[in-house]
Amino acid sequence: MYLTKEEELILAGEYGYALQKAMEILVALGEIYGADRLIPIKSAQIAGVSYKNIGDAGIEFLRDFVDAGAKVSVYTTLNPAGIGNEEFMEKQREVLELYRAMGIEITSTCTPYYGANMPKFGDHLAWSESSAVSFANSILGARTNREGGPSSLAAAIVGKTPNYGLHLEENRKATVIVEIQAKVKEFVDYSFLGYHLGKLLKNDIPYFKGLKPEKIDYLKELGASMAATGSIALYHVEGETPEYKTAITDKLERIQVDDRELEEVKAKYNADWGEIDVILIGCPHASIQEIKEVAELLKMRGRPLKIPLFITASRVIKYLADSLGYTEVIERYNGKIIVDACLIVSPIESWYKGIATNSGKASFYFSSAGLEVRLDNTDKLILEAP
């Protein structure tokens, strides 16, 4: 991989240990994937935030950078943290302070594009949250690989990333055409579809025909679910996403998705309400439109929920919900908007036995943790819950 003179000096340690260590990570990654050079990035989004995920070894990794004086050189935002008991939270706060010391914005959200970190079409990024990667690539037309936490941090410090994968135009073409013959209309249908296709296609780039999403939130959920059950970081929707006109090449494989395949996912996550002790909306973090919908459904329901409702969202969306009166309505009916956190990366299996959600991504991870799961549309979760 070609390095400029300055990059060679960084790698040799002439600019300090922190930059050298970050450059070593990027060069190793570039050599593994055959990158020709490093390219500048506009922003980074760093995962590997929850103490549940990174543990003490992750804290030591971050402290090593901080002690060496590491600072990010591009605008960098942070994924949600975990929540737990006091011992857990003490460690979690330490993680956040280490990131803060490197100049990273403690946004603590998986949806930075809702205001904190909004890239434009064609921007090169180093993002490491799978659902955000999918959103940036597919819906915004920015360019990022699915980075790991260490590589996105290294890129943020150096301000560059290896030029391979989805940074290259030729690698952003569709690899399979998906013809939608199923009824895909509601939010949860996109969860079912994404869950099924992630498992089926693994790391392909699907091109969707016959998909007409009513809201961007539906595409957000489609991408999040495909990224959870597979490794899909980019997809195209005919007539909807910004690169669909140039995405198709000749002789692509075609597959069809009908109602039967989506019903199989629904049947897999159909726990009885008697097994459910919490409802979760907001995986990925909820938009203000999603929160508004929940508030309106609760008013339609007219009586408090017997089990708690949690909506996870970014702090900026929570402030907006407060100002618009949605938070008050939600709390009146036994709901709560939780900011800065993600229940997937929290020790939730020690608190609850079953969870109801509209998210295919959440369903996948919670079932993997041993919880009973009910996956259904938002209106049914609110109106049919005990």
Give ∠ CA 140-145-150 in degrees, rounded to 5.
Answer: 125
Residues 91, 59 contacting (CB under 8 angstroms): yes
**pLDDT for res 104:** 98
**Number of CB atoms found within 10 A of residue 67's CB:** 12
pTM over 0.85: yes
Please give the mean pLDDT across all residues of the chain: 97
Unique residue bearing structure tokens 């990794």: 61
Q: How far apart are CA 91 and CA 339, in angstroms?
A: 18
Please give the span between the terminal C-alpha atoms of the chain, in angstroms, as a whole number: 59
What is the 3-state composition of the chain as percent helix, strand, coil, each rounded to the nearest 5? 45, 15, 35
Pinpoint the alpha helices (H) of the chain.
5-11, 17-33, 51-67, 86-101, 130-135, 149-158, 187-201, 216-229, 259-268, 288-301, 315-324, 326-332, 360-368, 378-384
**pLDDT for res 121:** 98
Q: How far apart are CA 112 and CA 210, in angstroms?
A: 29
Percentage of the chain surpassing pLDDT 90?
A: 98
pLDDT above 90 (res 324): yes
- Burial environment of residue 315 by CB neighbours within 10 A (0 to 12, 13 to 18, 19 or more): middle
Q: Which of 111, 85, 108 is nearest to 95 (CA)?
A: 108
**pLDDT for res 355:** 97
**pLDDT for res 124:** 98
Residue 104, phi then psi, degrees to nearest 5: -85, 135
pLDDT tens, 276-320?
A: 999 999 999 999 999 999 999 999 999 999 999 999 999 999 999
At position 276, the amino acid (one-letter code) is: I
pLDDT tens, 112-138?
A: 999 889 999 999 999 999 999 999 999
Helix (H, G, I), strand (E, B) or coil at 124: strand
Residues whose CB falls within 8 Å of the CB of residue 169, separated by 6 or more in sequence, listed in order: none
Band (pLDDT 50/70/90 cuts) for residue 249 is confident
